[in-house]
Structure 1
């Protein structure tokens, strides 16, 4: 698979099949993703991989915390900007509308939206659930490095015929993730990543988000 094919076929999948993913394939993906660029070659990413019963326990623990009203301290970083300018707010609202329209969840259906949101914590039934962390002593540059590493994981998954879904939602329940996976206090939970075989016929997986034309964000300098 060409890199461009991996990029253009990658999208966030929200329904996975029960088909297992071998540990060997996961190791291959992670080993190759570890070639990701990082400033000063710090390689700051910390990855926690759950499969089988361990993944199920993590999901069950978070869903129980939700049911018990145990929201904990919340995320340790701002997932979104504190204020949205119109262009970014429009993009966020559009993708939400597109997704919930596909799911036949009308605007204002709080119960339907919550039901779909809870599926995040079951990794959308993917057999592999990853949690990406970084040491809190690291600077903003190392968060960029972790983003590069995350992207490599997703693209390499495509080479193996697999799909993924990056999930910032796990940062909300980082206190449960930390407890269940024994993540040290000196690590910040950045996000989760579902990995597995996507169901091509599932309605949510038909969503292909729009992208802005390059002239919207590119400035050329030639003289």
Structure 2
């Protein structure tokens, strides 16, 4: 499968089967993804991979942290900026409503929507969770390089028949994860990623989010 095909095929999977993923499979993915672009060859990424009992421990940690503090622990690195402007606000709203519609959850069913959000912290049933760590001293450029590494990993997983969901929701329990993983003070958990085999029968996995047309975001200058 070509890179173009993988890009168009990859989606954020939000329901996984119970098929296991081995440590060797994860290592093989990381072995390829480590060749991602990196400005100055800083390679500003670390990855904590959890499965089995450790995965369950992280899930419990998240639910306990959010029960104590429903507002989360995003701190000085919020997931979205305050006062999200257009067209970004509408795009975010639309993807949320499309997801709830596929899951059959109406707007007025607040309890069901909260249960759906909680699935983030169960890795949507995926057998493996990856947590991406960056040094606090790194700037915006290095955060972008970490994103390229994550994209590479997701595409390699897709090539191998696996599925992923990049999960910034884990930023809501960033401090608790930091303590649990015993990270040094200079390191920061950016986000998580669910990894496993997609449950193709789940309606929520039928969502393919829209993308703006090229003419909406690109300006070509100097061409004949």
TM-score by length of 2: 0.95
SS at match of 2:61: helix
Distance in 2 between the 1:168 and 1:181 partners?
Answer: 17
Uncovered stretches (5+) of structure 1, i.e. residues with no partner: none
Deviations 1:51-91 (A, max 9, x none): 11111111111112223447564344131122222211111
Q: Spell out the pairing of 1:122-137 with structure 2 (5 A cutoff).
A: 122-137=122-137
In the alignment, what sits opposite 2:31? 31
Q: Does 1:208 align with 2:192?
A: no
Distance in 2 between the 1:169 and 1:147 partners?
Answer: 15
Distance in 2 between the 1:114 and 1:219 partners?
Answer: 41
Structure 1 window deviating more from structure 2 (118-127 vs 77-86): it is 77-86
Structure 1 window deviating more from structure 2 (69-78 vs 103-112): it is 69-78
Q: Is the 8 A contact 1:71 1:173 kept in 2?
A: no
In the alignment, what sits opposite 2:90? 90
Deviations 1:84-142 (A, max 9, x none): 22211111111111000111111132211110011101111101101011100111110
Structure 1 window deviating more from structure 2 (104-113 vs 199-208): it is 104-113
Q: Spell out the pairing of 1:140-219 with structure 2 (5 A cutoff).
A: 140-219=140-219
Distance in 2 between the 1:117 and 1:34 partners?
Answer: 31
For residues 10 and 46 of structure 1, do their structure 2 counterparts lie closer, same or farther at Cα, with a shift above 3 Å needed? same
For residues 108 and 184 of structure 1, do their structure 2 counterparts lie closer, same or farther at Cα, with a shift above 3 Å needed? farther
CA RMSD of aligned residues (A): 1.4
For residues 42 and 2 of structure 1, do their structure 2 counterparts lie closer, same or farther at Cα, with a shift above 3 Å needed? same
Distance in 2 between the 1:58 and 1:95 partners?
Answer: 27
Uncovered stretches (5+) of structure 2, i.e. residues with no partner: none
SS at match of 1:106: coil
